[in-house]
Structure 1
Amino acid sequence: MPEITTAERAGVGPDGAPRPTEDRIVVLENAVVLLDGATSPTPRARDGGWHSARLAAQFGPADGHLRGDLADELAAAIARLAAEHGLVPGDSPSSTAAIVRWTDETVDALVLADSPVVVFGEGIDVVADDRLRDLRGKVGRVTDWRNREGGFWVAEAEPAAAHRAVRRSWRRDAVHTVLMATDGVSCGVDDYALFADWREVVDITFAKGPEAVLDAIREAEATDPERVRWRRPKVHDDQALAVLRFTP
């Protein structure tokens, strides 16, 4: 099992008030699952945090392993959640999903919506689902394009969405580190350019711990409270970061 380091921090709501995090990290015997619940635009009991918490609970069989195809595993978790709570496709809260699983032979990754996985070996391989990012600014309500052709795909109440995820696989001996992040962390590279690249994020994590990465992003956001330099719906988003370090 790799050495796994994680860090999580709650952000604020669109109104700037503190609220519980909607991000989740699930560590299993042979996998890590990272989820980011979609913040609801209106108050509701079943918001993104409700969804991500309950989807997280669907992972981890009795022995704590994921053994099937990753898309099948995610689809089954979505189906169980929808059946248990009567969720309706198109009218339910949702979550991004990123899964990394390792065996003696391979490291496998799945990314659905904007929670990237970054794999370090001979080079840097970024597994990202950019369909949601590509829609922003091009359509009216982005949520109207959720889980439909020409739009973006996310874990909601439609199991088939799991099979639209971005997938990748590597030889186990070709990977030494894997990073998983929600967009409250990936913005430090993709939007704010606080870090030169993902390698710098990993270097900071190894030298100072993952909280130092979260601190740097928070400090930068605090200099832009009106969200002028970096256009974003909230001053501080939830943050979740997991770094997996494989030994030879």
Structure 2
Amino acid sequence: MGKMERFSFVALVAGIIFFLFADFISWALPMFVLKDIPKKSVEDLAAEAIAKNTTAWSDFNKLARYYPESFKKLCEYTESFSGAGDVIKDCKPNEKTFAKALRIGHRWYIAEGCWNCHSQMVRPVSNETLRFGIPGVSNTVSYPSEYQNELQAPVLWGTKRIGQDLIREAAVHNIGWHVAHLYNPQSTSPGSVMPGYPWYFEETKDGKIVPNERGIALLTYIMWLGSWEVKPPKPFRVETAEK
């Protein structure tokens, strides 16, 4: 074997070793970083949002008030795909219905492939914080513990940003904007290449187009993203009587 052949063989072996090492690091390093951080269940996240009176809890209450018939259907939603459990008889905004909506919304977010075009991570490089962060909040850049929960499994960091990064979405747009955007993205974002999702809506008896039970759930999940970092003014929050 000549010198060039030996060099090519060594380079090939070295390349394979470095590739395998990089692949090992990509899953092993996060595992070691997160091993001491408890993994929160969807129920834990719902209870925490209610206890802290976050924007996600406020928005969920608004969805229940704005679309009562769809909210009732959410309580009755039993499709096995959702993994959301049985019918909820006490159909009102509470920890159980909130957790169910988050779980269903998360499943449909993944099923629709939203993660193909939207990432969920503000990286500490370039102008990431200017584009996707929230000025004035305690954590503009993403951090490990906010991913240690069931709603971030599988990991939805993403690599492409055909659309906006969504990890801080709770601070960017309100419910009305998201309802219109989900039904017809071009109505809120002219020139957008995002398709509409009319199957998450239904027509009421008086001819109005409103989110259906799956739409309520998907909106709940999207409005939950980043809500733990949003510090809204007091009037924005849900009053105790409305809980």
TM norm. shorter chain > 0.5: no
Which TM-score tier does this pair reach, normalised by the shorter chain? Answer: under 0.3
The structure whose residues are more often helix, as a share, is 2
Q: Normalization by structure 2: what TM-score? A: 0.27
The structure whose residues are more often strand, as a share, is 1
For the pair shown, the structure with the greater C-alpha radius of gyration is: 2
